[in-house]
Amino acid sequence: SVSFSWLDCSLSIAFFVSVFWVHYELDLISLRNTPEWLINSAFLDVYSGHLRRAESKYSRAFKQEVPVEFITEAEEFVGDVLHQHKDRPQLHFSAGILALHRGDYLLATQEFEAFLRDHPNLSQWEVTVGQKYLGQARTRLASSSHQPQKSA
């Protein structure tokens, strides 16, 4: 008859847990690089006032292909939160980034203008990055047919 000691059982459990944890961490790492994860995480950073970190995540997200439907859903969510939390004008930054990447340059322009106008105590970096995106939105608006992309 085969008998296992408490130590054998503990080691087996520890091995199983460590293998499971490694796979879980690898899945989590790969998930953290998806545009959906990055956009959601960036929103939380903006909400918390960490715009520099958020801008980096938005940039990484939009270097990948992002479904227009997801951008539209994210925009609706940000709009709802902004409506409920008017004391967080930094959310205009998120709304502007999303509108810009969906192709609604007029809305993006309005959101970046609101961000620069309504956000008190912007740092020099925040002013610079806000003006950069506002310039992109205005340039694209001037050269486009002024029509946002329609979601499928």
Query: Would you place residue 120 in the very low, low, confident or very high pLDDT band (cuts 50, 70, 90)?
Result: confident
Q: Render pLDDT for 57-108 as a digit per residue (tens, 0 to 9).
A: 999 999 999 999 999 999 999 999 999 988 889 999 999 999 999 999 999 9
pLDDT, greater one: 60 or 30:
60
- On the question of pLDDT at 23 being above 70, the answer is no
Percent of the chain surpassing pLDDT 90: 66
CB 115 within 8 A of CB 130: yes
Average pLDDT over the chain, rounded to an integer: 84
Q: What is the pLDDT of residue 32?
A: 73
Among 16-20, 22-26, 134-138, 140-144, the range of highest mean pLDDT? 134-138
The Cα–Cα gap between 134 and 105 comes to 9
The Cα–Cα gap between 65 and 92 comes to 23
Q: What is the pLDDT of residue 152?
A: 45
CB 130 within 8 A of CB 122: yes
Q: What is the pLDDT of residue 16?
A: 58
The Cα–Cα gap between 109 and 139 comes to 10
